[in-house]
Chains A and B, each alone.
Chain A
Amino acid sequence: MKTWIEIGSLDDIPVRGARVVKTSRGCIAVFRTAEDEVHALDDACPHKGGPLSEGIVHGGAVTCPLHNRVFDFATGAAKGADSEVVATHSVKIVDGRLMLDITGLAARNVA
């Protein structure tokens, strides 16, 4: 079961850019690719907590602005020699509105 909530519209996010969704259990970075696909990852690099929403988006991946780890949107796994994995969240576009699945977040313990 997924729990979708509306977070805004596609136009709110720059192409090859990202915006942040704030929650009580951490921030989510929502990315928009060159093909207008949207993806969501935790907005904290598992390495040193860098804000992935501020990274450069290329292909289906983002590069962390602090130490250049590259995370794949589909799996959340770091590419190349790095082994970190960042949590992914489902996000979909319905009539131009962005819907985020918060099931994963809701299951987290409040820190």
Chain B
Amino acid sequence: MPESDARTKLMRPDELAPAVDLLKSVLQQLDATLLGQPELHRMVLVGILSRGHILLEGMPGVGKTALIHVLGQLLSLSFNRVQFTPDLMPSDIVGSPILQEDDDGRRQMVFEPGPVFTNILLADEINRASPKTQSAMLEAMQERRVTVMGETRPLPSPFFVLASQNPIELEGTYPLPEAQVDRFLLKLHVGRPSADTLERIIDSRRRGELPEPTSVIDQVKLDSLFDTMDRVVMPTPVNRYIANLVVSTHPQEPTAPKVVGDYVTYGASPRAAIAMAESARAVALLDGRPTAGFEDVKAVAPHVLNHRLILNYQARFDKVSSLDVVDQMLNDIDETGLELPRGVEVEAAS
């Protein structure tokens, strides 16, 4: 469908229904496989639909790797896992040319692709690698290609980086560079399961083995999902709301709420606005709507913005997290941008 039609015509329900059903089945399988994290699964799916990279943060053993592993199985995509360690070198990720002798006995340099040449790359404990190695991921994540020895090689499509990291307070970790953090569409926090969830896990998982997915999404279905995703309409007021949100993360802006001025040093980049729009579309698609609304933006804004806000020492002193700042921003900024007369309020009658 032409892009102009996508902007002026809403999808019919029957056009939308297959994609929604497909996504529902994926979500159901994820929820059945990994217990107790339905919202996390939903957001991971949002990231996949948005074709973005996801950074999972959580303590060891909470199921980050398992989640990504199951997701790779469900999507029927190639999957590689790299365990990041301090001595990991960039060539260990992107690959390197090696000297090989062919049948004729001639020796030549042959490029040996690294684990990055896959559809889904699980970068486990990415913050344990040195900044040099972390930087090796920059081009791959943004350009979806790798340049080695002056030769650029495209990565398979789709290409997702699903990284996990331990909280930076742990010893032996390196904070990710801001440039790399910004390339992650979402940063999701993987929490600890509750006692009930743990009981179910203990009851249904022997030796930690995960059940095999019953159905998978092949490349064709995934492409159709992406096509449907492209036809989700983003109304102009919602676009404006996203723009206002991103602009308001900068303390220098006059529209910035007080919490931003108090605790934020640097705000989000335009890439955050794009990520938020795409994520909002994905949430709308998951909800079975052809349009994205304000509540979709509010649903993804904490995950899109929380790793993009650089807080000052005052925030650390007051123990204010970026999620707290984003929540306060969502409360302070009117989504419609409507400038009502002073003292006039629009409220939903009870």
**Do A and B come together as binding partners?**
no
Footprint of B on A, CB under 8 Å? none
